[in-house]
């Protein structure tokens, strides 16, 4: 398997297919590069070079006891882009990967052409006086409690419920999608998955303000993980060259459930 070794000795697994302008994908919690299958094959067939990695503690990458935080994720991504000598790249991040992308682009814009934040917690997703529609602290605590109590069972409940909107009355749940989410989640480490929750309590406003390249923010207005009505619209207000595309009724995991719509929209933004 192709890997790089970071400065602190962690092996990071990655996929690198095709040629042309590079598109780099950063996955959400607690998933892996495999969650980008529908996008990687689509953009590969449209003439792009596609790269995706398993974040440390996830999937086929090492499971270190330290460094499961945004600072190290950004350093790992920077090590990968440097190793592959990627230039003029488009970075696309989903959910937690959106926070990773925002923080990376804010620090390494010389290598970046554009960025996309999909169902991202940026600028911040927690509830406070300025963000009353955000998730309350009890919600984050409940996620960590679910991980500790019975991670295997919890990782059935999340995709079967709010992640893909399969808990909505008119939804048609896909057992294959639920099983694939569980497979990816259980391939990672409990410690990294627990620690990742703390990244959802961070404020990424200052990172967004530093970004000057074009950024597309994509969000479903029925996102039950990162509520659309929280701070999502304000992400564009903090970007110097940002645009927002809202998807009525789409869930947090819309990259999977609505890839037929999302992929062409991504392609149009990249080509514009």
What CA dihedral angle connects 68, 69, 74 and 80, to 10 degrees?
0
* CATH number of this structure's domain 3-271: 3.40.50.1820
* 252 has catalytic annotation: yes
Options 91, 193, 252, 258, the catalytic residue: 252
> What confidence score (pLDDT) does residue 230 get?
87
- Does this model's pTM top 0.95? My answer is yes
pLDDT in tens, 220-269: 999 999 999 987 888 999 999 999 999 999 999 999 999 999 999 999 99
> What confidence score (pLDDT) does residue 1 get?
83
> What confidence score (pLDDT) does residue 192 get?
98
Paired with 216 in beta bridges are 116, 243
pLDDT in tens, 197-223: 999 999 999 999 999 999 999 999 999
> What confidence score (pLDDT) does residue 148 get?
98
> What confidence score (pLDDT) does residue 130 get?
87
What CA dihedral angle connects 100, 105, 110 and 112, to 10 degrees?
80
> What confidence score (pLDDT) does residue 233 get?
83
Parts of the chain with a pLDDT under 70: none
Options 95, 119, 120, 231, the catalytic residue: 95
Domain boundaries, the chain: 3-271
47: left (phi over 0), alpha (psi -120 to 50) or beta: left
Options 91, 219, 223, 230, the catalytic residue: 223
């Amino acid at each position: 398997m192709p890997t790089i070794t970071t400065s602190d000795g962690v092996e990071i697994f990655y996929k690198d297919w095709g040629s042309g302008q590079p598109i780099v994908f950063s996955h959400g919690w607690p998933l892996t590069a495999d969650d980008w299958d529908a996008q990687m094959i689509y953009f590969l067939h449209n003439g792009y070079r596609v790269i995706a990695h398993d974040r440390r503690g996830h999937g086929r990458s090492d499971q270190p006891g330290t460094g499961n935080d945004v600072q190290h994720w950004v350093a790992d991504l920077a090590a990968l882009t440097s190793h592959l000598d990627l230039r003029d790249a488009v970075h696309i991040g989903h959910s937690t990967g959106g926070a990773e992308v925002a923080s990376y682009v804010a620090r390494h814009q010389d290598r970046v052409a554009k960025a996309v934040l999909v169902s991202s917690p940026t600028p911040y997703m927690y509830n406070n006086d300025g963000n009353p529609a955000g998730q309350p602290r009890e919600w984050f605590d409940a996620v960590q409690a679910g991980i500790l109590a019975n991670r295997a069972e919890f990782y059935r409940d999340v995709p079967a419920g709010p992640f893909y909107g399969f808990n909505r009355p008119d939804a048609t749940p896909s057992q294959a999608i639920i099983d694939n989410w569980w497979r990816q989640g259980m391939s990672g480490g409990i410690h990294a998955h627990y620690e990742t929750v703390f990244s959802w309590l961070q404020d990424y406003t200052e990172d967004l303000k530093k970004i000057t390249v074009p950024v597309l923010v994509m969000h479903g207005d029925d996102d039950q993980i990162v509520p659309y009505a929280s701070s999502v619209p304000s992400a564009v207000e903090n970007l110097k060259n940002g645009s927002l595309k809202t998807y009525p009724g789409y869930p947090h995991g819309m990259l999977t459930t609505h890839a037929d719509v999302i992929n062409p929209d991504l392609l149009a933004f990249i080509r514009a």
